[in-house]
Structure 1
Amino acid sequence: MSALQGEVVERVCGHFRLGEVTAVTRNRVGLIHATFEVEAGGEAWIVQRIHPVFGEAEMENVAMATRFLREHGVPAPEVVPAPDGKPFYREPSGLWRVTKRLPGRSFPTVPSAGIAEAAGAMLGRFHRVMARFPQNLRPGKRRLHDTAAIVAEAREVFERYRETPKFPPVADLVATLPDRIERLLLPGGFSVQIVHGDPKISNFLFEEEEVTGLLDLDAISTHTLLVDLGDALRSWCGTHEDDPRNRFDPGLADAALRGWRATALPLPPEEQRAIGRATRLITLELAVRFLRDYFEERYFAWDPARYPDAAAHHLARARSMVHLADSIPDDL
């Protein structure tokens, strides 16, 4: 963390009146926001600079949803209001949010069937509770997991870069990936409700095999449950997101779905039969998003300790997701 970042974080903490700052540590688990673990006023906080793809409407939605979840027994973060009562603070460096830090640890990958089952049960509780959410979400800057739009926009980006040196190494992916996704698009008519939008395993905190926190609700939206289930299984049942040998683990999927079905409302039979298809769809959707960022290098964070540049990391991620999708069974 740079000295300038530290100064900005301390300034934000002062605005939220957290007390004297005694420690600031950069948390690099997430791919989108700049997240800092802060000790201030004798308490532990999470201070985040929000990625500009999210705006004030999303911050309002998170504050409403997390309050409702906590009232119904789901361990969601408590958003700290700024002095003006808003759940965010806008300063020259961007939009900032503060939450109280929850106990527990996160995992980059699922270490056991017990963890998969516990995460599934918590996601099912989330879905059951949010099915009763009494308010309408505010429209955000964009609709997440609008797969058809994501593919259409990616095609436009690919065409812009067709005559550049970046294109030949990924010509195979450009030629096949969008068509594969469009063939997997889910039929209309499936039930919709509020979903988490980003239930990757690092957004769950654990003590032993108990979930102590459900994090990062910025992508909360109204969508089919299959989007959330598919994204969860993609995250929980593969290996590292840039592993060239990434493969789907059916045993972890069985455990995760066992936990989810124990707490969630039942899915209609036709949606139950589409879980495998939805998981493959959402995995390839992420692949095409990584492939787009291979060209543009402007959305996802990357690891300079392991890759020479952002494009190399994003390409490794895209190919890993394709490899993972190829191993996902139809029958889940």
Structure 2
Amino acid sequence: MIRDKFAVPATAVETLGTGLINQTFLVSGERGEKYVLQRLHSIFPPEVNLDMEVVTVRLQDRGLVTPRLIRTVSGHLWLEMADGIWRLMTYIPGISVDRVDSAERAYEAGRLLGRFHMALSDLDYRFLGARGGIHETPRHLRNLELALDRHRDHAAYHRVRPVAEEILSAASKLTPLPALAERVVHGDPKISNFIFDAASGEGLCLVDLDTLNRMALPLELGDALRSWCNPAGEDSDTTDFSLGFFRAALTGYASEAGRWISPAEAASLVDATMTIMIELAARFCADALNESYFAWDPVRFPSRSEHNRVRAEGQLRAWEACRKMETQLSEVSREVFGLTPR
């Protein structure tokens, strides 16, 4: 397929990364060149590739490193096959990580996301493949309640239900977020979607651009911070929230976008981070019963259900840690962005 459809003489194909949605492969060519091949999950319409093309052209024009789509021999940005939508992209040398391992890494992630947002801040474009309702927290909580109702006979129900009840209880304690203007965002800024220089640790680029969208900035940054500030990563139920990583991440972001982010956006970051934690916990917990959405690791876990239960509990424990240090986190945010104390 790769040779015939993309005119790339592939000699080897191997699995790449630990993404939860798309299937990703590293393709090696005859002369040592490398490419990234992806099969998109069915939740994504093919038009996400049109969005990706517009955004990556802009990023490249603004001097940012970015993967670019490689057209098929017939000139298309993607390939429609019987088993789904496939695309080929340029490969960006570097490393990706599944959890932040140092304050320096958190700083670089924040700095790179700030550059990304600034480069797209004046993009006048209507996203064609954007999915609505990504961070509609009430909807995700309702989906969890539906999963509990529909799967009472699930083998793991007795293990999942107590976690679900904790999540629903925690949701009632969340502070409502203010209505804010929508910004152009990546949409899934977890740490594994960043590429870093293997030697220097410098943040190079963001990948997995299927979630490009417009949304309130605190939701984007909250999603980033819940990932970056959890030293244990997503696949553990003994998670925490690092105040040091939080400070470093915000400092990195402010170095690029500190004058762009509004005081109202900056003031909402801690509340948004806790909201995203509970929202993601609800999504993982629902899939512990539905077993239909998130990918799972059969080497480390006995079932998709158990992997998602652990993920859900991990987000819940991170929320608890975040809530205990909420005052300190708010003080850091005010300090970094120069906000007046409440």
Question: What TM-score do the two structures reach when normalised by structure 1?
Answer: 0.91
Q: Please list every run of 5 or more consecutive structure 2 residues that lacks an aligned counterpart in the other structure.
A: 334-342
1:3 maps to which residue? none
1:194 to 184, 193, 198: 184
Specify the code of the residue in structure 2 equivalent to 1:227: L
Offset at 1:23? 1.4
Runs (4+) of structure 1 moved beyond 6 Å?
A: none
Q: Any conservation in 1 of the 2:80–2:86 contact (CA below 8 Å)?
A: yes
1:219 to 201, 211, 223: 211
Indicate yes or no: 2:262 matched with 1:268: yes
Local SS of the residue matching 1:314: helix
Q: Please list every run of 5 or more consecutive structure 1 residues that lacks an aligned counterpart in the other structure.
A: 1-10
Specify the code of the residue in structure 1 equivalent to 2:86: W
- Root-mean-square deviation (CA, aligned residues, Å) is 1.7
1:286 to 270, 275, 280: 280
2:315 maps to which residue? 321
1:29 maps to which residue? 18
| Aligned ranges 1:166-181 → 2 under 5 Å | 166-181=156-171
Q: Any conservation in 2 of the 1:88–1:95 contact (CA below 8 Å)?
A: yes
Offset at 1:56? 1.1
Distance 1:158 1:50, change over 3 A: same
Q: Is 172-181 or 116-125 further displaced after alignment?
A: 172-181
Local SS of the residue matching 1:55: coil
1:44 maps to which residue? 34
Offset at 1:50? 0.6
Indicate yes or no: 2:243 matched with 1:250: yes
Local SS of the residue matching 1:32: coil
1:8 maps to which residue? none
1:109 maps to which residue? 99
Offset at 1:182? 5.4
Q: Any conservation in 2 of the 1:120–1:259 contact (CA below 8 Å)?
A: yes
CA deviations over 1:20-46 (Å, ceiling 9, x no partner):
211111114211111100012532100
Distance 1:302 1:76, change over 3 A: same
Distance 1:64 1:13 in 2: 26
Local SS of the residue matching 1:56: coil
Q: Any conservation in 1 of the 2:177–2:268 contact (CA below 8 Å)?
A: no
2:222 to 206, 222, 230: 230
2:252 maps to which residue? 259
Distance 1:244 1:174 in 2: 14
Q: Is 133-142 or 233-242 further displaced after alignment?
A: 133-142
Local SS of the residue matching 1:184: coil
CA deviations over 1:234-293 (Å, ceiling 9, x no partner):
111102212222000010110110010111143332322221111111111111111111
Question: What TM-score do the two structures reach when normalised by structure 2?
Answer: 0.89
| Aligned ranges 1:137-152 → 2 under 5 Å | 137-152=127-142
Tell me the percent identity.
31
Specify the code of the residue in structure 1 equivalent to 2:217: L
Q: Any conservation in 2 of the 1:291–1:314 contact (CA below 8 Å)?
A: yes
Q: Is 313-322 or 65-74 further displaced after alignment?
A: 65-74
1:301 maps to which residue? 295
Local SS of the residue matching 2:278: helix
Specify the code of the residue in structure 1 equivalent to 2:82: P
CA deviations over 1:291-327 (Å, ceiling 9, x no partner):
1110111111111111111111111111011001111
Q: Any conservation in 2 of the 1:104–1:213 contact (CA below 8 Å)?
A: no
Q: Is 259-268 or 48-57 further displaced after alignment?
A: 259-268
1:81 to 63, 71, 75: 71
Q: Any conservation in 2 of the 1:242–1:318 contact (CA below 8 Å)?
A: no
Specify the code of the residue in structure 1 equivalent to 2:224: A
2:121 to 106, 111, 131: 131
Distance 2:148 2:48 in 1: 29
Distance 1:241 1:133, change over 3 A: same
Distance 1:290 1:124, change over 3 A: same
Distance 1:28 1:212, change over 3 A: closer
CA deviations over 1:165-193 (Å, ceiling 9, x no partner):
43222222222323533553643421211
